[in-house]
Amino acid sequence: LKQERKKTEMRVRSTLIFLTSATAASASSTDLHNIANIFKPVTTPGKLDYDSAMLSIWVCTAIFVIVASVLVYALVRYRRKGNDDLQEPPQVYGSNQIEAAWTVIPLLIVFVLIMVVARVVASVQNATPPPNALKATIVGHQWWWEIQYPDLGIVTANEVNVPEAGADHQPTFLQLQSSDVIHSFWVPQMGGKLDLIPNRNNLMWLDPKETGTFLGNCAEYCGTQHANMLIRLIVRSKAEFAQWAAEQKKPAVSDASVDGERHVFESLACVNCHAVRGTPANGKFGPDLTHLMSRQTLASGMIPNTRENLRAWLKDPQEIKPGSLMPDMQLSDPQLDALVAYLVTLK
Ligand SMILES: [Cu+2]
């Protein structure tokens, strides 16, 4: 477990290094689209963000080159020479042409940049969903993500599944909300960050043109475990997405061979915080567990979803994610065995 946490830590760290230095770092898993990479957008909004950022970078580069060249020219041309008479050169004040030029040109540049950025922001956040759009709502919680598909009757957590845009350009529209403090949804290859704000509904959309798993983070400090509020956005082919959705829509598997174990779960406080659809467990405070085992990770992307990690998590979530809003339940070994045996049936 320690080793896996190290790995996650390394991943987060290399993401940061990557974002600042733009040098490629290699990912551990083959289907991972490298590390969160702002230079490889795979959606229309991502590409628009990228293009407008590049435009301002190039404008700034041009300004830098012009200013630096003039500066270097002046330094060399007017440097102190051997035959210097030590007199000050004639001083020039208030040239109207020069003053006008260095006021108007920057104003024009800023104006163009504002217009470009405003257009991009409007096209991402004020767009009207087309009839074929898939709609999902993402609710930020300290420190995990709730994901609802109201039209499909699906509730899941931490891993956002969306279909590839494909020939019909089907986009996914995300409504971003928060149940507590301000969070920010950011999967760099999908586009820019957008905040999840209590009592507000922010809108963004994406039309991924590649399948695979894309990594992201919460991008607005939201408390002690902010850095472990990771996102996995999984783009599936249309057929695979349909299959995934059909599985998620079903109520929880009811496996008679773990009836006793299920009763242990239902007799504990778990049910006040977690829902397992089709059973009396209907808590809404923590992640929905109906199809827990269909997810790759636990605790918002912190650790791989394996039997051992699941047991370690239940034994003491605070050991893995200090400050997490799931308490250490002081469970006995037989209780832990029963809970794990039951939970792993929730495919
Ligand atoms: Cu956060």
Give the mean pLDDT of 279-288: 95
Residue 294 has pLDDT above 70, yes or no: yes
Share of the chain above pLDDT 70, in %: 90
* Amino acid in the structure at residue 43: T
Distance from residue 112's CA to the centre of ligand 1 (Å) = 33
Query: Which of 80-94, 222-236, 284-298 is predicted with the least confidence, judged by mean pLDDT?
Result: 80-94
Distance from residue 208's CA to the centre of ligand 1 (Å) = 24
Residue 331 has pLDDT above 80, yes or no: yes
Distance from residue 322's CA to the centre of ligand 1 (Å) = 15
Beta partners for residue 154, in sequence order: 149
pLDDT in tens, 147-156: 999 999 999 9
pLDDT in tens, 4-32: 666 666 666 555 544 444 333 333 444 55
Secondary structure of residue 9 in the 3-state scheme: helix
Vertex 100: Cα angle to 94 and 101 (nearest 5): 115
Distance from residue 275's CA to the centre of ligand 1 (Å) = 24
d(CA 101, CA 103): 5
Q: Phi, psi at residue 288, to the nearest 5°?
A: -65, 130
* Ion ligand 1 residues within 5 Å by Cβ: 183, 218, 222, 226, 229
Residue 337 has pLDDT above 50, yes or no: yes
Distance from residue 323's CA to the centre of ligand 1 (Å) = 13
Distance from residue 223's CA to the centre of ligand 1 (Å) = 7
Query: Which of 7-11, 219-223, 235-239 is predicted with the least confidence, judged by mean pLDDT?
Result: 7-11
Q: Residue 275 gets which letter from DSSP?
A: B
pLDDT confidence tier of residue 36, bands split at 50, 70 and 90: confident
pLDDT value at residue 84: 78
